């Protein structure tokens, strides 16, 4: 049998999905912005069909909203949305970290610790913000994956895009990267010492601080909009 595999071409809608998603995360498409499907099709030199399919996936993930008049707009978070999602995260991730503290292997703990080391190095090297965000996401993802609980993983995976959306907003502010890293370290110290209850509480404290910071950012943003 040949060792060469024929790679299937990536469908246009999938390319568009990733491109639009990146534009949202990078702020090129801002919360509340209207997305005109015909204009996107023209910009990317494709038919409207793959654009509609890409929008359908983004709508399912919660990153775009389609109103009753079929107008497509970038998701604009409300305080209620933020609180609901963070309360879900507190419940699910506090349980996840407690479980991981009890069952994770030493090799798995090493992987989590390496992520913290890479994050620290990225901050020292003043690497791009998206690199640090990705490493922060990896810290949480490893904990979730090491629970070996597929149901828990699915529930958090359903929120993945919105969590990343909030994570991008949450990095705004002075010393945010260092503050988040220090909070992650506190969580990991409890995991490494196999202190399940303390690890769970450290995760809740971390997410509460994230929620407070994000609430402040959104409040300021809404005030600026009114001016």
pLDDT tens, position by position, 129-184: 889 999 999 999 999 999 999 999 999 999 999 999 999 989 888 899 999 999 99
What confidence score (pLDDT) does residue 18 get?
Answer: 93
Residue 1 has pLDDT above 50, yes or no: no
One domain for residues 107 and 179: yes
Q: Is residue 2 part of a domain?
A: no
Outline where the chain has alpha helix (H).
12-25, 37-43, 48-61, 79-103, 106-124, 129-145, 150-157, 160-170, 176-192, 196-226
pLDDT tens digits for range 67-118:
888 899 999 988 999 999 999 999 999 999 999 999 999 999 999 999 999 9
Residue 6: pLDDT band with limits 50, 70, 90: low
What confidence score (pLDDT) does residue 7 get?
Answer: 59
One domain for residues 113 and 130: yes
What confidence score (pLDDT) does residue 10 get?
Answer: 73
CATH number at residue 143: 1.20.120.530
Query: Is 11 or 55 the better-scoring residue by pLDDT?
Result: 55
Residue 64 has pLDDT above 50, yes or no: yes
One domain for residues 100 and 61: no
Among candidate residues 74, 97, 120, the one where a domain is terminated: 74
- The order of strands in the sheet holding 72-74 is 34-35, 72-74, 64-66
What confidence score (pLDDT) does residue 227 get?
Answer: 44
pTM of the model as a whole: 0.86
- 165: nearest Cα among 59, 14, 24: 24
What confidence score (pLDDT) does residue 148 get?
Answer: 95
Range of the structural domain that residue 25 is part of: 12-74
Cα–chain-centroid distance for residue 133? 8
What confidence score (pLDDT) does residue 112 get?
Answer: 98
């Amino acid at each position: 049998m040949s060792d060469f595999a024929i790679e299937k071409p990536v469908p246009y809608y999938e390319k568009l999905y990733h491109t639009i998603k990146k534009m949202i995360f990078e702020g090129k498409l801002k919360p509340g912005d209207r997305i005109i499907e015909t204009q996107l099709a023209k910009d990317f030199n494709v038919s409207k069909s793959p654009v509609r399919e890409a929008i359908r996936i983004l709508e399912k993930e919660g990153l775009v909203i389609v109103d009753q008049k079929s107008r497509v707009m970038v998701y604009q978070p409300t305080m209620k949305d933020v609180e609901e999602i963070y309360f879900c995260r507190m419940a699910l991730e506090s349980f996840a970290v407690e479980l991981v503290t009890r069952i994770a292997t030493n090799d798995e703990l090493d992987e989590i610790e390496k992520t913290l080391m890479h994050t620290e190095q990225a901050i020292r090297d003043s690497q791009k913000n998206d690199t640090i965000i990705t490493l922060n996401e990896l810290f949480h993802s490893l904990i979730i994956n090491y629970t070996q609980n597929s149901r828990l993983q699915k529930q958090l995976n359903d929120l993945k895009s919105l969590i990343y959306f909030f994570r991008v907003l949450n990095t705004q502010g002075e010393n945010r990267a260092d503050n988040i890293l220090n909070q992650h370290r506190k969580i990991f110290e409890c995991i490494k010492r196999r202190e399940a209850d303390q690890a769970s509480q450290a995760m809740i404290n971390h997410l509460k601080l994230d929620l407070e910071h994000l609430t402040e950012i959104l409040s300021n943003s809404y005030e600026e909009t009114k001016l």
